[in-house]
């Protein structure tokens, strides 16, 4: 079995879509980045790649390559998971934490879990998504950014 950990952070920007775990969240601010900047999916991809020592998403999808401009992170996740499978592993479970002051994500968590389970072709009970704030502390607390962590467990096929 292999364990991987991922982390991602992006600034929040006025007028950007707020896409988290493949779900568009109503918000005036959204993560700014080269792709759709889906922060929790980026953390999840890094966890999957890290579990197998396959580098990080920047190595696989460099922001310097316009091919990835405005790319769907869910589509990138599908590519990463195919790589995981081609290396002889499959997902046991994933645990994701999103750190964001606003908007509140509670009502969107189930849909996020469903989107990730569908994308990874796994059971819903293998996907955990949680959201928290940092009580107005730091860049996430002051509303200027969003971060996410992800931990995965992989098993041989």
pLDDT in tens, the chain (157 residues): 999 999 999 999 999 999 999 999 999 999 999 999 999 999 999 999 999 999 999 999 988 888 888 899 999 999 999 999 999 999 999 999 999 999 999 999 999 999 999 999 999 999 999 999 999 999 999 999 999 999 999 999 9
- Regarding pTM above 0.95, the answer is yes
| CA separation for the pair 74, 115 (Å, rounded) | 9
pLDDT for res 66:
87
| CA separation for the pair 156, 130 (Å, rounded) | 27
């Amino acid at each position: 079995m292999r364990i991987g950990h991922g982390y991602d952070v992006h600034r929040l920007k006025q007028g950007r879509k707020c896409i988290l775990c493949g779900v568009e969240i109503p918000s005036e601010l959204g993560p700014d980045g080269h792709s759709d900047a889906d922060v929790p999916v980026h953390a999840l991809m890094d966890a999957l790649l890290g579990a197998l020592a396959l580098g990080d998403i920047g190595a696989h999808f460099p922001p310097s390559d316009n091919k990835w401009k405005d790319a769907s992170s869910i589509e990138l996740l599908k590519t990463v998971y195919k790589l995981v499978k081609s290396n002889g592993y499959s997902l046991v479970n994933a645990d994701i934490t999103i750190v964001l002051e606003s908007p509140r994500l509670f009502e969107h968590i189930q849909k996020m879990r469903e989107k990730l389970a569908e994308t990874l072709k796994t059971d819903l009970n293998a996907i955990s998504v949680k959201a928290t704030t940092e009580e107005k502390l730091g860049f996430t607390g002051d509303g200027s950014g969003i971060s996410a962590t992800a931990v995965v467990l992989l098993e041989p096929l």
